[in-house]
Structure 1
Amino acid sequence: GIGPDGHIAFNVRGSDHNSTTRLMETNFETQATAATDLGGIEISKNRLVITIGLASITFKDDAVAIITAAGEAKASIVKYSLENLPDVKYPATVLQRCENSRFYLTHGAAKLLDDTEKQYWENSNWDDVKKQRALLRLAKRKNIFGKKLSLDDLEHDSLCKTIPGLGEGTAPEIIENIHAKVQRGIKDESNQVYYHTGPHHDDIMLGMMPHIIHLIREPSNSHHFVNMTSGFTSVTNGFITNILSFTLEFFLQGKIQMTDFPDFFSEGYKLKWDKDVFHYLDNLAKLDKSEQNRALAHRVIRGLIKIYPIKDKNDLGVRINSIISELMDCYDGEKNSIEIQKLKGIIREYEEELVWSNYGVRVQDIYHLRLGFYTGDIFTESPERNRDVLPILKQLKEIKPTVISLALDPEGSGPDTHYKVLQAIADAVRIWNDETDLSHLRIWGYRNVWYRFDLAEADMIVPVTLNSMAIIRSTFMNCYLSQRDASFPSYELDGPFCDLSQKIWVEQHQDLQLMLGRDYWYQNENPHLRAVHGAVYLKEMDVETFLTVARELEESMEGFPLSNN
């Protein structure tokens, strides 16, 4: 394989091409990538690796060296490794010494190679997407705003000169189409039912929260937030141990008064789960950290009684101490018991309720499906229709959404859970479509920290203000308590996911600004657009288009089709 920084056999970026087999530290990109296999970056960042040096790999001129790469996320580093001269910045370039070195690539991983791009530009139809890509590429190459590109600039560009019907109106027409995407992104909507889905608990926020903030202000719209998995793998043992410790302290101090009610351990714990949410948010407003912790402790105790056979207060204290001892005895990366997995999942679910309650969403409109394929194993099961699809289908029939939002990562990019959730949703929509007329249904695909749409791919562009960025960061850091220091970070940024999302939105806005011009923003008649410094890209599809995209993605991935069990 090849890492995001180009490492092969753990020879990270910057490794000398004459290096030998050695014991060494890794860089952040490698640690973040290895976190998935090792149980979290807390483990991978503290591990040395034994690497076969680049000189050792290429010692024999006739050595056979095979590199495999899958997914569009690897496309850039594959291009640099194959098409650059030997350079320590790209360790795999050393394989140019070996006649028998080969790269085996999926279509997505080969996407940016010169041969692949040449085929795209020469053989595909000139649709709007291709025209926008060509004009953006020209604007970047010449460092000129899109609307200032002349016909002469286009005629002397190797790509733009082949646009059919090229004329004075070509560039303005392309720019107008991009402007229309922005207008779709700020369009007011009313009387809509939104079914927002996330593979993990922070995916919706990181993918499209600036748009949701705008839509949620319209009272005729209803929003339903659906978390497909319990997300327990992203909660560390240290985090849950700390929570249990202060929960026990509050309990022993008599500050969890709900446990004094006579029926609490049989029936009472089932009531007022939403009260824990507002207890936390009230004290977030008061800046009272101790009371925020006490609110969380209430939810933890409800969860413990739901999971374990706890009969009274004495049982509760014993059980909390027992769980703390169990966690202290675990080695880093060890798979937890089913009970602790459930407890960690309850923490993630509480965090999600905190997030959306910030914006007036009722707790009863936040759902936790806990799909069964998500087990915490390195190699998880494929979704099954009865276990994983039918719960989604049941909700779709009950809620009857007019818009479904979902994570839409390309082949081999993003966590495996994203792909499996997408296929489960697609199968549910496919069944629903066979039974009901869904011609009115819109599907919004979002991407977040794992991959991104380019400007041309997006159908809707949602402007993001500094105010929205500040709100989102505050919400993330105050509500996603377990993710302030994520166990499975992106290799792109050593920091919280909200900061990476902001970085992506700003970069996307820079492309948008290059095409539309700076004055489009700061001189705009719309005050909202004058305040914009970022952009969220979304893809809008009808049902047939979405099902086609899901099927093509399934065919491009290795593995088995959805089980009918």
Structure 2
Amino acid sequence: MNKSKVEQWFQQKNAEVEKAHIDEKIPVIITANYVLLGQLTALRFLEWVCEHPGGVVALPTGRTPEFFIKWTQYYLENWKREAQKGLIAEMGLGSFKTPEIQSLTFFQLDEFFPVDPNHERSFSYFVNKFYIDGFGFDRKKVHLLNTSAIGDNGETDLCALFADGDIDLSLRTRQVKTGLELKKKRAIQYVDHMCASYEADIRTAGGIGFFLGGIGPDGHIAFNIKGSRHDSLTRLDHINYETQAAAASDLGGIENVKRKAVVTMGLQTIATNPECSAIIIAAGASKANIVADAIMQEVSPEFPATSLQKLPGARFYITKSAASTIIEKRQADQKAGSFAPQTEAQAEKVLRGIALPVGKTILHTAPHHDDIELAYFPAIHHLVRNEKNINHFVYCTSGFTAVTNIYLLSVLGATLAFLDSGEISIQELINPNKSLGNAHDITGYLNGIAQLNKEAQLFNVACRMTRCAAKHLETNNTEKVAGFFRLLTDILLQLEPGNHEPEDIHLAKGWIREFEAELAWAHFGLSNAFVHHLRLKFYTGDIFPEYPNYEADVLPVLKLLKETNPDIVTLAIDPEGSGPDTHYKSLMAISAAIDDYVKQSGRADIRIWGYRNVWSRFSLNEVNTI
């Protein structure tokens, strides 16, 4: 491996990369966490730019490059200072002048089809915001993929033409049957021609000199999904379910992603330049097996990233958890350790897990409304059924991103129908002499489940929505509440899924998610007094949300700690910030609150239960309780 100065420096900081496994066909650099992964990637990119002014680059979009972008912006703004006495100088790059980003030629990797380039979740929008405006790329040297219109003047609106979601690529070769199919066939032919021209432009420029990308749940690179040919070029294509699911949150739900195809650079496009520095970044245990396959398997369409094995400049930059499968293979290869069960030690962990606490106040915290269930739900059955324990369930966020526009529209429609028919009376809902409050909705919904009565379930969801809206609007006027719901309905009908949503839409989605959480614990006999919704402010719909703020995010947790005085606090431990970044940011807020609580209360006996679930898992040797 011919290492750059940046790579040498990071490798020296991590002894685990000293000895590669014999089956590793692409060099790997491992970092301790997600933030350092971004720093390594940013510095390597800027090092390459210094060495290749006027070069050709392709950079990723989406959530993966968050810290690559932040670190790159930092070093571009502070290059002179860092080159004199900072990390850049320490790495031996101090002789370089500030990288000339404006000298580079940029090619967009991929894009959904069709999508308006002004859509806030389109990759073209991302490139404009973070790379052109953020890094300073010369707009004239940036090649973007326009999948929204035919012709320079937009003679044909592709979003309107394919509004039915029927993107039948067999129209390339088969006979058309209707006038609409003829229009779609011509549009597909136009996009195919556009892809061929895009491919030619890349090759005329000399091929991609620096490629940076993530790796998808099926191993996809750009939108080259599992099974893609390694000689594939820039093209219009469909994607598989795994890739659709990964993109669902960006486009307002998987039902919207299923109505899209994609335009993507091909695997051969990426690797055309034999001197290309091709870097794949990955974080989190959920990527461990995919990364190992890409690095250790023989070249195969089954593993798209194996197409990079032929490039001497190919690298995988990954976090320690994303490297877990590789590290296990290395240790086995070096015979440096054994993963054979240590019966006695594991037995102690199991016994500790069986001996659950009694007579304790337990504060169960969760970033999202399903994290506790996914992590330690079997233990919950025992903890909540012990009458000597007091259990509180705390949700850091409202979870609005989990509720699609389509589902919210259906709930709003049903709620309006019940209000208009008079079946729901706000006066009765908020009258303390006639209503049990939120508990009434919960009991009614659970009874509806027991009776297999869908209408009863929907009625009680509508009651909860009405109750929440009346409280939010500070009114008992039915028409005002109904008008609020009609306004939300109108907004949703005009809103392109994935675009920025008004705060009231987030609020209404949160009401639905919070009601769902309360139903789960009501089933165990817990009242709403033991379920807490914090709605911390760091949780937004932005692609790169802000980090927790002390007043808005830490103090609400601290207040709850003082009110409940817990003996045990459970929290999702995801120190890398991989998976949903809400886990990492919730951890930051809760940790800061616990520190302040311990200082102010003088308590030193609080126990912390750290859990993980589907995004990142502990190995047996990492845990002390099973």
- Establish whether TM, by shorter chain, passes 0.5: yes
Q: Secondary structure at the match of 1:297?
A: helix
2:566 is aligned with 1:401: yes
What displacement does 1:416 show? 0.3
Q: Which amino acid aligns with 1:232?
A: F
Q: Which amino acid aligns with 2:283?
A: A
What displacement does 1:253 show? 2.1
Residues in 1 aligned to 2:585 and 2:416: alpha-carbon distance in whole angstroms: 38
2:620 is aligned with 1:452: no
1:424-443 pair list within 5 angstroms: 424-443=589-608
Q: Secondary structure at the match of 2:378?
A: helix
Aligned to 1:61: 274
Greater C-alpha Rg: 2
Aligned to 2:340: 135
Residue among 433, 441, 454 paired with 1:276: 441
2:314 is aligned with 1:101: yes
Q: Which amino acid aligns with 1:7?
A: H
Q: Is the 8 A contact 1:39 1:333 kept in 2?
A: yes
**Using a 3 Å threshold, how does the CA distance of structure 1 residues 71 and 363 change in structure 2: closer, same or farther?**
same
1:209-224 pair list within 5 angstroms: 209-224=377-392
Q: Secondary structure at the match of 2:620?
A: coil
Residues in 1 aligned to 2:327 and 2:358: alpha-carbon distance in whole angstroms: 46
Q: Secondary structure at the match of 2:520?
A: helix
What displacement does 1:310 show? 4.9
1:441-480 pair list within 5 angstroms: 441-461=606-626
Aligned to 2:534: 369
1:9-408 pair list within 5 angstroms: 9-113=222-326, 117-118=330-331, 134-136=339-341, 174-259=342-427, 272-308=437-473, 310=475, 312-408=477-573
Greater relative contact order (Cα 8 A, min sep 6): structure 1 or 2?
A: 1
What displacement does 1:48 show? 1.1
Q: Secondary structure at the match of 1:292?
A: helix
The CA deviation string for residues 202-253 of structure 1, in whole angstroms up to 9 with x for no partner, is 1112211110111111111000000000111111111111111111222222
1:468-547 pair list within 5 angstroms: none
Between stretches 24-33 and 60-69, larger displacement belongs to 60-69
Residues in 2 aligned to 1:9 and 1:188: alpha-carbon distance in whole angstroms: 47
Residues in 2 aligned to 1:259 and 1:193: alpha-carbon distance in whole angstroms: 37
Q: Is the 8 A contact 2:426 2:477 kept in 1?
A: no
What displacement does 1:280 show? 1.7
Between stretches 67-76 and 3-12, larger displacement belongs to 67-76
Q: Which amino acid aligns with 1:100?
A: G
Q: Is the 8 A contact 1:307 1:343 kept in 2?
A: no
Q: Is the 8 A contact 1:79 1:113 kept in 2?
A: yes
Residues in 2 aligned to 1:301 and 1:268: alpha-carbon distance in whole angstroms: 18
Residues in 1 aligned to 2:367 and 2:269: alpha-carbon distance in whole angstroms: 42
Residues in 1 aligned to 2:513 and 2:327: alpha-carbon distance in whole angstroms: 44
Q: Secondary structure at the match of 1:439?
A: coil
Aligned to 1:499: none
Q: Which amino acid aligns with 1:407?
A: A
The CA deviation string for residues 60-91 of structure 1, in whole angstroms up to 9 with x for no partner, is 32233222223333232222212222122211
Identity %: 43
What displacement does 1:189 show? 2.7
Residues in 2 aligned to 1:195 and 1:390: alpha-carbon distance in whole angstroms: 16
Q: Which amino acid aligns with 2:396?
A: M
Q: Secondary structure at the match of 1:135?
A: coil
**Using a 3 Å threshold, how does the CA distance of structure 1 residues 390 and 117 change in structure 2: closer, same or farther?**
farther
Long gaps (5+) in structure 1: 124-129, 137-173, 462-565
Q: Which amino acid aligns with 2:441?
A: D
Q: Is the 8 A contact 2:400 2:506 kept in 1?
A: yes
What displacement does 1:103 show? 2.5
Residues in 2 aligned to 1:25 and 1:87: alpha-carbon distance in whole angstroms: 20
**Using a 3 Å threshold, how does the CA distance of structure 1 residues 248 and 85 change in structure 2: closer, same or farther?**
same
Residues in 1 aligned to 2:331 and 2:303: alpha-carbon distance in whole angstroms: 23
Q: Which amino acid aligns with 1:113?
A: I
Q: Is the 8 A contact 1:22 1:52 kept in 2?
A: yes
Residues in 2 aligned to 1:291 and 1:455: alpha-carbon distance in whole angstroms: 45
Residues in 2 aligned to 1:393 and 1:121: alpha-carbon distance in whole angstroms: 47
Long gaps (5+) in structure 2: 1-213
**Using a 3 Å threshold, how does the CA distance of structure 1 residues 282 and 271 change in structure 2: closer, same or farther?**
closer
Residues in 2 aligned to 1:320 and 1:36: alpha-carbon distance in whole angstroms: 24
Q: Which amino acid aligns with 2:352?
A: R
The CA deviation string for residues 499-537 of structure 1, in whole angstroms up to 9 with x for no partner, is xxxxxxxxxxxxxxxxxxxxxxxxxxxxxxxxxxxxxxx
Q: Is the 8 A contact 1:5 1:77 kept in 2?
A: yes
What displacement does 1:335 show? 2.4
Aligned length: 413
**Using a 3 Å threshold, how does the CA distance of structure 1 residues 268 and 304 change in structure 2: closer, same or farther?**
farther
What displacement does 1:450 show? 1.7
The CA deviation string for residues 354-412 of structure 1, in whole angstroms up to 9 with x for no partner, is 11011011211100001010111111110011111111111112211111111123524
Which TM-score applies when normalising by structure 2?
Answer: 0.62
Between stretches 34-43 and 239-248, larger displacement belongs to 34-43
Q: Which amino acid aligns with 2:623?
A: A
Q: Is the 8 A contact 1:63 1:98 kept in 2?
A: yes
Between stretches 82-91 and 377-386, larger displacement belongs to 82-91
**Using a 3 Å threshold, how does the CA distance of structure 1 residues 309 and 329 change in structure 2: closer, same or farther?**
farther
Q: Which amino acid aligns with 1:227?
A: Y
